[in-house]
Structure 1
Amino acid sequence: MNFLIPLAHAQAGGGGAEGGSAIYSIGMIVVFFAIMFFLVIRPQMKRQKEHKKLIENLAKGNEIITAGGVAGRIREVGENFLVVEVAKDVEIRVQKSSVTSVVPKGTMDSL
């Protein structure tokens, strides 16, 4: 049984090398999160900011395309909803957040 004691002391003696690897591991985690921030989180925040600006600038007469692929001309702008004319005398109500893009005027006439 006494032969196990020197092994236990030998394992505990390597504390200096473990301290360096702990700093290295923490550094790698920080680098990983920095990469994730610049490749995933930051571009997503930029897209959200652009979409919010697009929704705030919607006005009557703009021609839009929704997330579902519906194209139309805005007839009324409410707080959360829009009334969109998709054909002559055919209007639908959509959420503002479903608008993905504003297209140039005259696009609806060419469709």
Structure 2
Amino acid sequence: MNTATFMQQFGPIIIIFAIFYFLIIRPQQKREKERRDMLSSLKEGDDVITVGGIYGKILNIKDDVITLDVGDKIKIKVTRTAIGNILKKREKTED
């Protein structure tokens, strides 16, 4: 089998895989990395929204459990992965 025959048979498959990688796999990996970075940057005092649509302020972070203040003295505990987005980062205070 020479090179020209090889490219005729397997070239389209290679091109389809390359398109698939750049249009689907690579952007998904980028979104996953951004989400991991967002979850690791959570701090007490951040205003967040959970994936279930609950708004709250982070009161405490212990390992993978986050305690949220959702208003009227109501506190709930969620896992770190339940946080969907950070709405407002805590203001840095100078000590």
Structure 2 residue aligned with 1:103, among 62, 68, 87? Answer: 87
Structure 2 residue aligned with 1:51, among 13, 17, 35? Answer: 35
- Distance in 1, matches of 2:75 and 2:9, equals 59
Task: Name the larger-Rg structure.
Answer: 1
User: Is 2:82 the partner of 1:82?
Assistant: no
**Structure 1 residue 72: deviation in Å?**
0.3
Q: State the TM-score, normalized to the length of structure 2.
A: 0.84
- Distance in 2, matches of 1:91 and 1:46, equals 33
Aligned residues: 88
- Distance in 2, matches of 1:91 and 1:33, equals 48
Where is the helix percentage greater, Structure 1 or Structure 2?
1
Runs ≥4 in structure 1, deviation > 4 angstroms? none
Aligned to 2:53: 69
* Structure 1: runs of 5 or more not aligned: 1-14, 106-111
RMSD of aligned alpha carbons: 1.9
User: Is 2:19 the partner of 1:35?
Assistant: yes
- The structure showing larger relative contact order (alpha-carbon pairs under 8 Å, at least 6 residues apart) is 2
CA-to-aligned-CA distance 1:52-86 (integer Å, 9 cap, x gap):
11011100000001111111000001111100011
- Distance in 1, matches of 2:77 and 2:85, equals 17
- Report sequence identity in percent: 31
Aligned to 1:10: none
Q: State the TM-score, normalized to the length of structure 1.
A: 0.72
